Amino acid sequence: MSKGNTFENDFLKMIFNAIAIANIADNAGTSPLTNLYVGLHTADPGEAGDQTTNECAYTSYARVAVARTAVGWTVTNNVVNPAADITFPAATGGSETATHFSVGTAASGTGKILYSGAISPTIAISTGVTPKLDTSTAITED
């Protein structure tokens, strides 16, 4: 089974740009998300994980809010990319390696992961390092 290419692109636009899919889904909930939250992980959070699973914990780490609009995300041909680099707070202590990223629903705590994937190359984080995901970071719906 697979989705049709047009629907895949429409689905990504609904999730990342808050654009309704005519006659199927809209963004008219009582309090729809205006941001998605990108996190870094030291290992794959897995399909059963939440946003805290294997999440980075260096001193000053925080998830980054990205707007659910075309200003936040670019959706083209079933691929989503950040519209601008996603820059995390600079490490002020601790040392770890970010191997995965996630896109989820909560600014902190055990939010729902919508998508996750490997980071290549991985990011070695230590004091003074400012981790970032650039605009080539991609999520593909297929």
Q: CA–CA separation, 86 vs 38, rounded Å?
A: 8
Domain of 73, in residue numbers: 5-140
Query: What is the model's pTM?
Result: 0.94
Tens of each residue's pLDDT in the chain, 142 residues: 888 999 999 999 999 999 999 889 877 777 889 999 999 999 999 999 999 999 999 999 999 999 999 999 999 999 999 999 999 999 999 999 999 999 999 999 999 999 999 999 999 999 999 999 999 999 999 8
Q: How many domains does the chain have?
A: 1
pLDDT value of residue 31? 81
